[in-house]
Amino acid sequence: MKVLQDVLGEHQDSVAAQAQLLELAIGVQQAGESGFTYGLIYAQERVRANDARHAYATALRRASSRRTRRWTQ
């Protein structure tokens, strides 16, 4: 169950970071500065979110196993 929570938390953190980075990059561009660094970090966050999405199926399958759910019965 902890692995599933970790995967979901990683995804949520990454998506929130992407939104914040996008806002920062837009603000910097509007101020006439370069937003290139924000773009690089944004790309890394997209990879991080994608990795979490790929890990989700396995984490969900493990969290949904009978052995894991045994305590709820």
State how far the Cα of 54 lies from the Cα of 56, in Å rounded to an integer: 5
* pLDDT value at residue 1: 83
Q: Among positive and negative, which fits the CA dihedral 10, 51, 15, 40?
A: positive
Within 8 A by CB and 6+ apart from 41, the residues are 21
Query: What is the chain's pLDDT, residue by residue, as a tens digit (73 residues)?
Result: 899 999 999 999 999 999 999 999 999 999 999 999 999 999 999 999 999 999 999 999 998 887 766 665 5
What range does the domain containing 16 cover?
A: 2-72
Please state the length of the chain.
73
What tokens were used for 30?
Answer: 């509007």
Number of domains in the chain: 1
* pLDDT value at residue 69: 63
Under 8 Å between Cβ of 68 and 48: no
